[in-house]
Structure 1
């Protein structure tokens, strides 16, 4: 691990090198400003590292191969400082960029009070301010627990990235008829398949749970066969959560069994994408199996003790 961190440190200047700041007197390639990481994050399994800093890029490294996988550019906004690799030569003078020249008669300074100017470094010996222009940078980056997505707090706001090609909750799949009221109406009319699909499109945990328990055990096979592939992962995640808190174990396990029967080929072919949800489901089932095993063993020993006690009493 120390070797990897050494490689990241040595390669950080080249990997994270971003655009040129207005205050830089040298080109972006020759400038040392921002060429270091200020935030690092490991994935839960330790396979990847995210690194960001005072740059327009976020770097992702592979731990096993010790290489840079990809650089993510957090913004294309030219109004931010540090985005452009080359500044406009027409705005450059012998004393520096025109935007940095403090003209007391300009309209730009009229809206800046003395306190703000002091905070920006105006009037300090040797200091140069960008007049409050925000700099493109990443303050923090974090992986999700599953490692399939990550988020970064940047100058442009909170950015969320995902390794999956499609999202379970797709706003483009919504329309004016997809509402919680429509789900309740479908349940009242015994349209269980439509109600479940609407709840999956809304991606609401309470509605999904409500629609799952509305299905009779005899209808589970028919409903499971009608679930589109793009909602399969979301449904598996719902079952995994229910197994941890729901007392209806046989009912949920019957759902899982029917899903595996109907969509077994798809699950096998897309096991890589479904791996986080499948692992979560396996973990829940394994924990329940262990708990039930302990309870059954304890009951068995108790029954043997009671039987032996009753025999002695006779």
Structure 2
């Protein structure tokens, strides 16, 4: 990828190793590659877009019976917005993960025992949904790993007050990269909108397009590449892990002078375990580990997050690791506490 220009600027073309790509595509014909590791695990399961469209009801706001924006409409709007901003690209079929299934039944089955319900008498929807869709033509090598451009988002109905009248609905959206070695997501500040509030699909699409247009892909890539230039010794890594565990138990006043760390004790334990055991990102023969690998240990541990905290922790992983990088440069930014 040519990093000397903004590939998302108006009237610009993508510059890639195999030449400029000009493929107007139909989403129904999107590329679908062989199955990979899931981008999030926790208590989620994978579903197809057709399942959301054909088998799931759409929740409404109780007081006025106005419908919500459905999960599938959010996904479709994201893909359409991406194609509008970056025309001529191919987008893989989205990988969709859901959790917290909400079950119901049709009125004619109100008196039936649950064990006797027929499929057409059951209703379901999923309280939480996350998706990603890769853009396979846009890739880069970082730390020996291939990363692919991707878009994605999160929708959690539990953040809406469905017992009231229709109000602004909340969505999370990102454009960033996915490490194809482990399927970890790489999310940056300018490629992530933590809370989009929209009352219509048109409004939602406008916000998504704005995030894509403002994303500085070259800056994000260089930020990640620089991580591989800095390393921690085993002793420094042990200090880092210990401080991360202590952080959870600090008082509110003590935390005010220290940058936020959103990872749990269980996830920090996974980071420590994978320092020795991960096939791709463990320490080297000398016992050292570069910060690109540290970053991937955190994004790997993040796969155990619930859907509604997943993208926030993805961003926090990059902020935390680049903060440690700056602390190694002897910059006083608060992150030196984790190495002291």
* TM-score of the superposed pair, with normalisation by structure 2: 0.25
Q: Which has the higher helix share?
A: 1
* TM-score of the superposed pair, with normalisation by structure 1: 0.26
Q: Relative CO higher for 1 or 2, CA cutoff 8 Å, sep ≥ 6? A: 2
The structure having more radius of gyration, on CA atoms, is 1
Q: Which has the higher strand share?
A: 2
